[in-house]
Amino acid sequence: MEKTEKINSLKVAEKQVDRAAARLHLDPGVAEKIKQTRRELTVHLPVKMDDGSIKMFTGYRIQHNTTRGPAKGGIRYHPDVDLDEVKALAMWMTWKCAVVNIPFGGAKGGVQCDPRSMSLHELENMTRRYIWEIAFMIGPDQDIPAPDVHTNPQVMAWIMDTYSTIKGYSVPGVVTGKPLELGGSLGRMEATGKGVFTVAGEAARHLNMSINGARVVIQGCGNVGGTAAQYFDRAGAKVIGISDYQGGIYNPKGLNVAEALNCRNQYSCFITRKGPGWEEITNQELLQLDCDILVPAAIENQITDKNAPRIKAKLIVEGANGPTIPEADDILKDRGILIVPDILANAGGVTVSYFEWVQNLQELLWNEEEISDRLIRIMKKSFAEVWQLSQKEKIDMRTAALMLGIGRVAEATRLRGIYP
Ligand code: NAD
């Protein structure tokens, strides 16, 4: 993917809070408190590599807020991971859990690394050392990690095993997104993509747009983007563009999604392999394709004031966290483009993570239908609450979602009081 100037995600997240806090008329002290991170840990990890050398990696675990419950948030492996990025991602988790009203606070973790250039064995060594370093601050009652970019159920299994080994007994509730064999939940793998698809349907209804036949463009084809693509495809939408970190593929008549995802699974990227009717495009070109629905589902800061004037989608549904910067929000709002914001649109993942945690703690097993029904009910209810607030206050959906989430955290803070 082509590199643009690095935007500081924490500044973006703080600006969003300022906008919502002003509308909520929050006490300045409370606003400042909930903007701040509760705890931040930086660790330096020595890892034995396959060639016998020892390499140092830097990792982070941030607990942004625990007022409404234990901290919850994924772990990211990516070369761009840094303290501010993880702090921003942790803050967005706090608002997200509050928007869908599940009893969690927000956290995030990450290790700065390039997982694509590491062997499975090296990734396992790094994961285990990282978890050993942060073990004192995680646990089912205090902070529960989950998958994020370039981490998956196998990484979650190593996390559970390392933490359980330290404790001396199995603790499945320490992490969500685990393999089913280790207490993972049915429906977790597809939860975020399914949630994205569900709220896209709700938003499309308000725009009198049919999903059947809609032209959809998706940036990122991992857990979120790849799953969302399958749901759109099954519902009769035409996925005309999809990408990975190296670039994208485009077919105005609609891509064969199954073939594209097979290619991704086999070769881990698209553009080195030419599929039927595939035109190769950059990630920037992909974002500006003529389409009905755009789903950014890769990383932050992709939609900026530079490309927002050229975005042609009528509806943007944010699968990724923080894909749009505030300056782009303003441009897109003026251009009448509806955005379903990340803290609502991609909340399906943390919602089913919550179901997984509940099942682990209570030693229950829910079936797929039960999980899917509960997920869809929560996503539709949350969408309706944010939509109604945006209509009532005449504001965009991001500000409405932030007002809802931040408002709930502020009220919880008021009720608990400031100790001592
Ligand atoms: P993933 O690792 O499964 O997939 C990431 C995708 O993004 C891949 O296709 C990768 O090639 C692409 N990508 C990576 N770096 C890129 C770059 N610089 N430019 C363009 N594309 C790039 O990750 P995921 O779990 O699908 O997460 C994607 C986004 O969704 C992230 O923002 C994550 O925080 C967010 N999210 C994930 C979940 C979840 O349950 N996995 C939940 C909520 C939000």
CA of 78 to the centre of ligand 1 (A): 10
> Domain 37-172 carries which CATH code?
3.40.50.10860
Residue type, 188: R
Q: What backbone torsions phi and psi does residue 2 show, to the nearest 5 degrees?
A: -70, 140
Q: Which pLDDT value is given to residue 272?
A: 57
Residue 4 has pLDDT above 70, yes or no: no
Best substitution site from 85, 102, 149, 154 to test ligand 1's pocket, by max atoms within 8 Å of Cβ? 149
Q: Which of 38-47, 208-217, 262-271, 302-311 has the lowest mean pLDDT?
A: 262-271
CA of 225 to the centre of ligand 1 (A): 7
For residues 171, 173, 179 and 183, what is the CA-based torsion angle, rounded to 10 degrees? 80
Q: Answer positive or negative: Cα dihedral of 194, 199, 203, 208.
A: positive
Q: Which of 227-231, 246-250, 313-317 has the lowest mean pLDDT?
A: 246-250
- Which residues are CB-neighbours of 40 under 8 A, at least 6 positions away? 60, 61, 62, 63, 83, 87
Ligand 1 atom with the smallest distance to the CA of 300 is: 32
Looking at 100-214, list the stretches that DSSP marks H as alpha helix, in order from N- to C-terminal side: 120-134, 153-167, 188-206
| Cβ atoms of residues 243 and 220 within 8 Å | yes
Strands 338-340 and 315-317, how do they pair? parallel
pLDDT in tens, 161-190: 999 999 999 999 999 999 999 999 999 999
Q: Do the domains 37-172 and 191-336 sit in the same CATH topology, yes or no?
A: yes
How far is it, in rounded angstroms, from Cα 404 to Cα 96? 10
Enumerate the domain spans of the chain: 37-172, 191-336
* CA-nearest residue, atom 17 of ligand 1: 245
Q: Which pLDDT value is given to residue 64?
A: 98
Q: Which pLDDT value is given to residue 3?
A: 46
The residue that leads in pLDDT, 272 or 327, is 327
Per the confidence metrics, is the pTM higher than 0.85? Answer: yes
- Please give the positions annotated as active site: 108
Residue 268 has pLDDT above 80, yes or no: no
Ligand 1 binding site (Cβ under 6 Å of any ligand atom)? 1, 147-150, 192, 220-225, 244-245, 283, 297-299, 319-321, 346, 349
* CA-nearest residue, atom 3 of ligand 1: 222
How far is it, in rounded angstroms, from Cα 346 to Cα 85? 18
CA of 70 to the centre of ligand 1 (A): 24
CA of 220 to the centre of ligand 1 (A): 6
pLDDT in tens, 314-367: 999 999 999 999 999 999 999 999 999 999 999 999 999 999 999 999 999 999
How far is CA 8 from each of CA 133, 281, 316, 326, rounded to the nearest angstrom? 26, 26, 22, 12
Q: Which pLDDT value is given to residue 266?
A: 79
How far is it, in rounded angstroms, from Cα 186 to Cα 353? 10
Q: Which CATH class is domain 191-336?
A: alpha beta
Structure tokens of 318?
Answer: 């944010």
